[in-house]
Amino acid sequence: MLENKNVALYVSGGIAAYKAADLVRRLIKQGANVKVGMTASAMEFITPLTFQILSKHHVYTDTFDEREEDKVSHIHLADWTDIAIIAPATANVIAKVANGIADDFVTTALLATTAPIFVVPAMNSHMLENPATVRNLATLRADNRFVMEPETGFLAEGYEGKGRLPEPSTIVESVKQFIVSQQLDLPLKHKRIIITAGGTKERIDPVRYITNDSSGKMGYSLASVARDMGAHVLLISATKQLKRPLGVDVVEVDSASEMLEAVMAEYDSADIVVMAAAVSDYRPKKQAAKKIKKSDESLTIELEKTTDILYQLGHTKKNQFLIGFAAETNNLEVYAKEKLERKKADMIVANDVSKADVGFNKDTNEVTIFIPNSEPTIVSIRSKKEVAIEIFNVAIKQMRR
């Protein structure tokens, strides 16, 4: 995937700059051609010579150090680049790139780059949480820059926090996934995909309902990733809170039975169905036509089972590849494997929603992917978009078997 790709690696002045040396080695091992640019602060942490030896190329540090008469080096590097990586990306470089500032070699070359830019922030947790950094990262994302999620752990400052540079091996994997999502040779081209998202609502009366904590963020991330991989996506959404992804067909539903109806209407023509929605298992047996008035008595609401959509899809499927989700608080593996078999799904994505930063309503997720007769794939904590890429990568590999 990285074979013969021209990678411009920009190193800025963070304590994790030394890890960029290992990153260069790993990128080259994957077949990439790597050229490195460094900020002046980065050179306080690691020398250009290290990168020159590893990359076997001149290291760019000074905008005005023009050694080739017929080339302007920052433009030449920018035009040569297939993918630009900023790792580590300091708060300062992030701020400059987000605002189009070009006052050194790195930021000038980045401003001139039309290739995709992959940003790997690394900094103290308080710098990361600073509203200015939050704003700048949001600007980068809005500008279609890919921002990798920093890791949580023991920081150089001597305390736990979010802001660590992910291990170079993790960065390389994420870059590879990113390349797949950017590729012209799109892996899901011509595939029709149904994705469900959000928590269904089961009415008690006109103003009350039963629902769950699902935000729909995982389903929406899956929808935009599937679209980027070339699929025709129908998103059946039980939430109205999230921004509709461009280029995706959206059908809004409320209840489990509406969701079932919407999925079944398109099921025959689908190649892949991803049931990421949290569907109510029960609904009130009777729905009051008028608001139930408060009284001194206690109130009992009788519940009946809803149709298990995943089970129904599994037991009526033809060639569709069926992906289910299992949000559990305990016995994850046992429940996921049981669900895979009983519902005749092709893949179960399980997450332990009792963990912090995982599952419902969060922006990050950590999942284990189960497929029949194979070892599970563990996807460590990362943004829901990155998790979505990994889910489709595993599904694509399995479908090609």
| Residues classed as catalytic | 212
CB 347 within 8 A of CB 398: yes
Interacting residue with ligand FMN among 5, 14, 105, 343 (CB under 6 A): 14
Interacting residue with ligand FMN among 2, 32, 83, 93 (CB under 6 A): 93
Q: What is the H or E stretch that residue 380 is in?
A: strand 377-383
Interacting residue with ligand FMN among 12, 174, 255, 320 (CB under 6 A): 12
| x-marked contacts with ligand FMN along 31-70 as a string, rule CB under 6 A | --------x-xx----------------------------
Subset of 141-170 contacting ligand FMN (CB under 6 A) = none
Single-letter code of the amino acid located at 9: L
| x-marked contacts with ligand FMN along 103-122 as a string, rule CB under 6 A | -------------------x
Q: What is the DSSP string of 228-268?
A: HTT-EEEEEES-SSSPPPTT-EEEE--SHHHHHHHHHHHHT
CB 333 within 8 A of CB 350: yes
Per CB under 6 A, 216 contacts ligand FMN: no
Nearest residue (CB) to ligand FMN, 132 versus 265: 132
CB 148 within 8 A of CB 181: no
CB 262 within 8 A of CB 236: yes
Per CB under 6 A, 393 contacts ligand FMN: no
Residue 93 CB, shortest distance to ligand FMN, in Å, is: 4
Nearest residue (CB) to ligand FMN, 160 versus 213: 160
Residue 127 CB, shortest distance to ligand FMN, in Å, is: 6
CB 105 within 8 A of CB 63: yes
Q: Identify which of 281, 296, 282, 16 has the alpha carbon closest to the alpha carbon of residue 157.
A: 16
Which range touches ligand FMN (CB under 6 A), out of 91-99, 215-223, 289-297, 355-363? 91-99
Summary count for the chain: helices (H), strands (E) = 14, 19
CB 11 within 8 A of CB 39: yes
Per CB under 6 A, 127 contacts ligand FMN: yes
The count of other CB atoms within 10 Å of the CB of residue 126 is 12
Q: Identify which of 218, 350, 202 has the alpha carbon closest to the alpha carbon of residue 285.
A: 202
Interacting residue with ligand FMN among 91, 194, 234, 277 (CB under 6 A): 91
- Size of the residue set binding ligand FMN (CB under 6 A): 15
Interacting residue with ligand FMN among 92, 113, 181, 224 (CB under 6 A): 92
What span, in angstroms and rounded, lies between the C-alpha atoms of 2 and 23?
13
| x-marked contacts with ligand FMN along 227-266 as a string, rule CB under 6 A | ----------------------------------------
Instruction: List residues near ligand FMN by CB under 6 A.
Output: 12-16, 39, 41-42, 90-93, 122-123, 127
